[in-house]
Amino acid sequence: MSIAHHRRKQPELVRQQLLEVAARLSLELGASGVTLDAVSQAAGVSKGGLLHHFPNKMALLDGLFDDLTGKLDRTIAEEMRNDPVAHGRFTRAYLACVFALQDETDTQGWQVLTIALLSEPQLRARWRLWVADHADEFVGTDSSVGCLLARFAADGLWLADILKSHDVDQQTRQAMRTQLVALSLQ
């Protein structure tokens, strides 16, 4: 008799495990290597269990998007609560998140999602909406050219980190961050 019937079900843990496995497989094998069969097998979850959470590959990518942007929103909100200066507060919080991505456990997920954003129109539309919603929400405090330039520069660093196209030492990264924070105050 299988012990699966006696095992306590933890759907959120299973869902998170599936997202992490999909991210890992995507980095190891490329987006084409992320099949529902490969994810379920690598995660040790039945295909039915996977389909319960994600009925198709796009749903899996959407789930990864929701998970990562939810974490990003919570981290930005926390950073903003700790910043007493209203002007540029969102931009500085965004900078903190981007500069921390190098050390975060979610780096792998962001790498996968960023690559998927380049090839999946549905995900690009969702990211564009996320950016527009935040730009609208913080239009009074973060719409200066300095704030916009700082966020664009941070996006460039993010992409360079994901592509591993530039070796930027910590001292240079810190100098870059200091200058971008200064831009957010203009």
Burial of 180 (0-12, 13-18, 19+ CB in 10 A): buried
Structure tokens at 124: 């690009």
Collapsing DSSP to helix, strand or coil, 79 comes out as: helix
Q: Is residue 5 pLDDT above 60, yes or no?
A: no
**Domain residue limits, the chain:** 1-55, 66-184
Provide CATH code, domain 1-55. Answer: 1.10.10
pTM for the full predicted model: 0.82
Structure tokens, 127: 């990211």
d(CA 7, CA 46): 15
Contact 92, 82 (CB under 8 A): no
Assess whether pLDDT exceeds 80 at residue 105.
no
Which value, to the nearest 10 degrees, does the dihedral of the CA atoms of residues 37, 25, 57, 103 take?
150
Higher-pLDDT residue of 79 and 108 is: 79
User: 3-class DSSP state for residue 183?
Assistant: helix
- State residue 94's pLDDT score: 97
Res 85 pLDDT > 90: yes
Query: For the chain, percent helix, then strand, then coil, each to nearest 5?
Result: 80, 0, 20
Radius of gyration, alpha carbons of the chain: 19
Model confidence over 51-65: pLDDT tens digits?
999 999 889 888 888
What digits encode the pLDDT tens for the residues 17-39?
888 888 788 777 776 777 889 89
pLDDT of 103 strictly over 70: no
Amino acid identity of 142? D
The torsion angles phi and psi of 35, rounded to 5 degrees, stand at -110, 160
